[in-house]
Protein backbone atom coordinates (compact mmCIF):
# COMPACT_ATOMS: atom_id res chain seq x y z
CA UNK A 1 0.00 0.00 0.00
CA UNK A 2 1.25 3.44 -0.96
CA UNK A 3 -1.08 5.65 1.10
CA UNK A 4 0.41 9.04 0.16
CA UNK A 5 0.52 8.15 -3.53
CA UNK A 6 -3.07 6.88 -3.46
CA UNK A 7 -4.35 10.03 -1.72
CA UNK A 8 -2.50 12.37 -4.12
CA UNK A 9 -3.67 10.40 -7.16
CA UNK A 10 -7.31 10.30 -6.07
CA UNK A 11 -7.46 13.98 -5.03
CA UNK A 12 -5.79 14.97 -8.32
CA UNK A 13 -8.15 12.75 -10.31
CA UNK A 14 -11.30 14.01 -8.56
CA UNK A 15 -10.19 17.65 -8.99
CA UNK A 16 -9.55 16.99 -12.71
CA UNK A 17 -12.96 15.35 -13.07
CA UNK A 18 -15.05 18.06 -11.41
CA UNK A 19 -13.04 21.29 -11.76
CA UNK A 20 -15.11 22.75 -14.59
CA UNK A 21 -18.47 21.75 -13.12
CA UNK A 22 -18.86 25.17 -11.36
CA UNK A 23 -17.86 26.95 -14.61
CA UNK A 24 -20.39 24.86 -16.55
CA UNK A 25 -23.22 25.58 -14.08
CA UNK A 26 -22.43 29.30 -13.87
CA UNK A 27 -22.28 29.63 -17.66
CA UNK A 28 -25.56 27.69 -18.13
CA UNK A 29 -27.22 30.01 -15.60
CA UNK A 30 -25.79 33.36 -16.70
CA UNK A 31 -25.12 32.79 -20.43
CA UNK A 32 -22.12 35.04 -19.72
CA UNK A 33 -19.21 33.71 -21.78
CA UNK A 34 -17.66 37.09 -22.39
CA UNK A 35 -14.29 36.53 -20.72
CA UNK A 36 -13.94 32.84 -21.66
CA UNK A 37 -11.27 31.79 -24.17
CA UNK A 38 -12.72 29.40 -26.77
CA UNK A 39 -9.21 28.37 -27.84
CA UNK A 40 -8.29 27.39 -24.25
CA UNK A 41 -11.33 25.13 -23.90
CA UNK A 42 -10.71 23.55 -27.33
CA UNK A 43 -7.09 22.69 -26.37
CA UNK A 44 -8.28 21.51 -22.93
CA UNK A 45 -10.95 19.26 -24.51
CA UNK A 46 -8.42 17.85 -27.01
CA UNK A 47 -6.09 17.08 -24.09
CA UNK A 48 -8.85 15.33 -22.15
CA UNK A 49 -9.82 13.31 -25.27
CA UNK A 50 -6.18 12.21 -25.66
CA UNK A 51 -5.97 11.21 -21.96
CA UNK A 52 -9.13 9.11 -22.40
CA UNK A 53 -7.76 7.45 -25.59
CA UNK A 54 -4.43 6.91 -23.80
CA UNK A 55 -6.35 5.34 -20.90
CA UNK A 56 -8.21 3.05 -23.32
CA UNK A 57 -4.91 2.16 -25.01
CA UNK A 58 -3.32 1.27 -21.64
CA UNK A 59 -6.57 -0.24 -20.25
CA UNK A 60 -6.19 2.26 -17.38
CA UNK A 61 -9.72 2.61 -16.05
CA UNK A 62 -9.06 5.50 -13.56
CA UNK A 63 -7.61 7.59 -16.41
CA UNK A 64 -10.84 7.07 -18.39
CA UNK A 65 -13.15 7.64 -15.39
CA UNK A 66 -11.45 10.86 -14.18
CA UNK A 67 -11.05 12.48 -17.60
CA UNK A 68 -14.49 11.68 -19.06
CA UNK A 69 -16.48 14.17 -16.92
CA UNK A 70 -13.78 16.79 -17.62
CA UNK A 71 -14.24 16.28 -21.37
CA UNK A 72 -18.03 16.45 -21.01
CA UNK A 73 -17.88 19.76 -19.07
CA UNK A 74 -15.37 21.19 -21.58
CA UNK A 75 -17.66 20.30 -24.51
CA UNK A 76 -20.66 21.92 -22.79
CA UNK A 77 -18.61 25.09 -22.15
CA UNK A 78 -17.37 25.15 -25.79
CA UNK A 79 -20.94 24.74 -27.01
CA UNK A 80 -22.09 27.61 -24.79
CA UNK A 81 -19.24 29.89 -25.91
CA UNK A 82 -20.17 29.19 -29.55
CA UNK A 83 -23.88 29.84 -28.84
CA UNK A 84 -23.60 32.92 -26.63
CA UNK A 85 -20.43 34.71 -27.77
CA UNK A 86 -21.43 38.10 -29.09
CA UNK A 87 -24.99 37.81 -27.76
CA UNK A 88 -23.89 38.93 -24.30
CA UNK A 89 -21.99 41.94 -25.65
CA UNK B 1 8.38 1.19 -28.71
CA UNK B 2 4.71 2.02 -28.30
CA UNK B 3 4.24 4.67 -30.97
CA UNK B 4 0.48 5.24 -30.53
CA UNK B 5 0.79 5.39 -26.74
CA UNK B 6 3.71 7.83 -26.96
CA UNK B 7 1.86 10.13 -29.38
CA UNK B 8 -1.34 10.13 -27.29
CA UNK B 9 0.61 10.73 -24.07
CA UNK B 10 2.65 13.60 -25.49
CA UNK B 11 -0.29 15.32 -27.23
CA UNK B 12 -2.34 14.99 -24.01
CA UNK B 13 0.56 16.30 -21.91
CA UNK B 14 1.26 19.27 -24.19
CA UNK B 15 -2.45 20.17 -24.33
CA UNK B 16 -2.62 20.01 -20.51
CA UNK B 17 0.49 22.19 -20.22
CA UNK B 18 -0.60 24.98 -22.56
CA UNK B 19 -4.42 24.88 -22.61
CA UNK B 20 -4.92 27.90 -20.34
CA UNK B 21 -2.20 30.02 -21.95
CA UNK B 22 -4.73 31.67 -24.36
CA UNK B 23 -7.10 32.29 -21.40
CA UNK B 24 -4.23 33.81 -19.39
CA UNK B 25 -3.15 36.10 -22.25
CA UNK B 26 -6.70 37.20 -23.07
CA UNK B 27 -7.46 37.94 -19.40
CA UNK B 28 -4.20 39.89 -18.94
CA UNK B 29 -5.06 41.96 -22.03
CA UNK B 30 -8.76 42.57 -21.40
CA UNK B 31 -9.00 42.42 -17.57
CA UNK B 32 -12.37 40.82 -18.37
CA UNK B 33 -12.95 38.05 -15.81
CA UNK B 34 -16.69 38.48 -15.74
CA UNK B 35 -17.79 35.00 -16.82
CA UNK B 36 -14.89 33.10 -15.18
CA UNK B 37 -15.61 30.78 -12.26
CA UNK B 38 -13.11 31.35 -9.43
CA UNK B 39 -14.12 28.04 -7.82
CA UNK B 40 -13.37 26.12 -11.03
CA UNK B 41 -9.87 27.55 -11.28
CA UNK B 42 -9.19 26.90 -7.58
CA UNK B 43 -10.20 23.22 -7.97
CA UNK B 44 -8.22 23.01 -11.23
CA UNK B 45 -5.10 24.50 -9.56
CA UNK B 46 -5.45 22.12 -6.58
CA UNK B 47 -5.66 19.21 -9.04
CA UNK B 48 -2.55 20.35 -10.90
CA UNK B 49 -0.68 20.77 -7.59
CA UNK B 50 -1.63 17.22 -6.60
CA UNK B 51 -0.49 15.86 -10.01
CA UNK B 52 2.87 17.61 -9.54
CA UNK B 53 3.25 16.24 -5.98
CA UNK B 54 2.20 12.79 -7.25
CA UNK B 55 4.84 13.14 -10.01
CA UNK B 56 7.49 14.06 -7.41
CA UNK B 57 6.37 11.13 -5.24
CA UNK B 58 6.70 8.71 -8.21
CA UNK B 59 9.78 10.51 -9.63
CA UNK B 60 7.75 10.84 -12.85
CA UNK B 61 9.40 13.78 -14.60
CA UNK B 62 6.85 14.15 -17.49
CA UNK B 63 4.03 14.48 -14.95
CA UNK B 64 5.91 17.34 -13.26
CA UNK B 65 6.91 19.03 -16.55
CA UNK B 66 3.44 18.92 -18.14
CA UNK B 67 1.48 20.00 -15.06
CA UNK B 68 3.76 22.83 -13.85
CA UNK B 69 2.87 25.33 -16.63
CA UNK B 70 -0.81 24.42 -16.13
CA UNK B 71 -0.54 25.27 -12.42
CA UNK B 72 1.28 28.53 -13.22
CA UNK B 73 -1.43 29.65 -15.70
CA UNK B 74 -4.19 28.67 -13.26
CA UNK B 75 -2.58 30.73 -10.47
CA UNK B 76 -2.26 33.76 -12.78
CA UNK B 77 -5.94 33.43 -13.77
CA UNK B 78 -7.00 33.09 -10.10
CA UNK B 79 -4.97 36.16 -9.20
CA UNK B 80 -6.60 38.12 -12.03
CA UNK B 81 -10.12 36.99 -11.05
CA UNK B 82 -9.45 38.14 -7.47
CA UNK B 83 -8.05 41.48 -8.70
CA UNK B 84 -10.60 42.32 -11.39
CA UNK B 85 -13.85 40.67 -10.25
CA UNK B 86 -16.39 43.40 -9.71
CA UNK B 87 -14.22 46.07 -11.36
CA UNK B 88 -15.36 45.00 -14.83
CA UNK B 89 -19.05 45.02 -13.88
List the single residue in A with minimal CA-CA distance to B31. Answer: A35
Computed from CA positions of residues A22, A24, A25, A29, in that sequence, does the dihedral angle turn out positive or negative? positive
Using CA atoms, how far apart are residues B84 and B27, in angstroms rounded to an integer? Answer: 10
Q: Is B89 within a domain? A: no
Q: How many beta-carbon pairs below 8 A join chains A and B? A: 115
Instruction: Find the residue in A nearest to B46 (Cα).
Output: A15
Answer yes or no: is A76 within a domain.
Answer: yes
Digitized pLDDT (tens) for each residue of chain B, 89 residues in all: 689 999 999 999 999 999 999 999 999 999 999 899 999 999 999 999 999 999 999 999 999 999 999 999 999 999 999 999 876 54
Nearest alpha-carbon partner for B30 in A30, A24, A36, A38: A36
Of B8, B37, B58, the CB nearest to A57: B8
Using a CB-CB cut-off of 8 Å, the residues of chain A touching B16 are: 44, 47, 51
Tell me the C-alpha distance between B57 and B16, whole Å. Answer: 20
Domain extent for B54: 3-84
Residue A72 domain-assigned (yes or no):
yes
- Asked if residue A89 is part of any domain, the answer here is no
Cα(first)–Cα(last) distance of chain B, in Å?
A: 54
Q: Measured between CA atoms, how close is B72 to chain A, in angstroms?
A: 15
Task: Calculate how close chain A gets to B32, using CA atoms only, in Å.
Answer: 5
Residue A33 in any domain: the answer is yes
Instruction: Please give the tally of structural domains in chain A.
Output: 1
Is position A52 within any domain?
yes
Is B7 inside a domain boundary? yes
Residue A89: the pLDDT is 47
pLDDT of residue A85: 84
Chain B residues closer than 8 Å to A50 by CB: 8-9, 11-12, 15
A15-60 tens-digit pLDDT: 999 999 999 999 999 999 999 999 999 999 999 999 999 999 999 9
Subunit contact B11:A58, Cβ cutoff 8 A:
no
How far apart are the C-alpha atoms of B51 and A34, rounded to whole Å?
30
Q: What is the pLDDT of residue B1?
A: 61
- ipTM of the complex in this document: 0.93
Answer whether residue A34 is part of any domain: yes
pLDDT at position A84: 93
Average pLDDT over residues A68-89: 90
Element (H, E) at A6: helix A3-18
Identify the CATH number of the domain in which residue A65 sits: 1.20.1280.290
Q: Are the CB atoms for B36 and A31 separated by under 8 Å?
A: no
Q: Closest Cα of chain A to B61: distance in Å?
A: 15
CA distance B45 to B84: 19
Amino acid sequence: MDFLGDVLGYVAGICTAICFLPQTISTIRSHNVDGLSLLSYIIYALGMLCWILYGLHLSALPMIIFNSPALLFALIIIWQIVCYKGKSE
